[in-house]
Amino acid sequence: MAEAERIIGTPDTPDDDHQQTAAAGAAVGAQAAGASGEAGTDDATGRQTARKPGRGRRIAVLFSVAAFAYALDLISKMLVVARLEGRAPIRVVGDLLELHVIRNPGAAFSFGAAFTVIFSLIAAIVIVVIIRLARKLYSFPWAIALGLLLGGALGNLTDRIFRAPGVFEGAVVDFIAPKGFAVFNLADSAIVCGGILIVVLSFYGLDPDGTVHKD
């Protein structure tokens, strides 16, 4: 009798069948979630929650725009310092626009010349804040705006660190001189354009995370 039971085997109980089916279903669900990469798990409820796609692309746009703005500003300053500094202004559009190299210890458009160190620290803080904000970035327009701000801040901060008279006290190179207006550079232009775009996006209720709110 014992030998017969050994050969035939003990049949599975209903509870065993249920446990095996549940385990198999959990394994299939885990594999499907891992393959799709589009769902997460709520720790409190165990329910599947959708993730927003595209953050990686938005971050890539942000840093690409920042790198382009920074490179353009850096190259333009190197050229004007090497070829135009110490020389008479060059007219570009009659009396309306000239290239005139000056060293500016202040903020954008020559404001606040007595607070060079403070402006350097503010620029460094802005850079850190933008990099931290990138973790929650899902908006393409916000990626462009923050990229312009980041590139411009890096451009002027580079001058303040590496140019005379010293670290965090360096004078920024300005060379774009419209008639009746302050002399500025491409980093200043990037910062202003990025700021204007942020104001427009905020006016229309678009947040960096891609959501739209209406007041």
Which residues are annotated as catalytic?
A: 174, 188
Is beta strand 97-104 parallel, antiparallel or unpaired with respect to 48-50?
unpaired
Please tell me whether residue 64 adopts helix, strand or coil conformation. Answer: helix
Listed in sequence order, the DSSP H helices in the chain are 2-8, 14-36, 55-83, 116-133, 140-162, 186-203
Rg (alpha carbons) of the chain, rounded to whole number: 30
Sequence-distant (6+) residues with CB within 8 A of 90 are: 84, 98, 99, 100
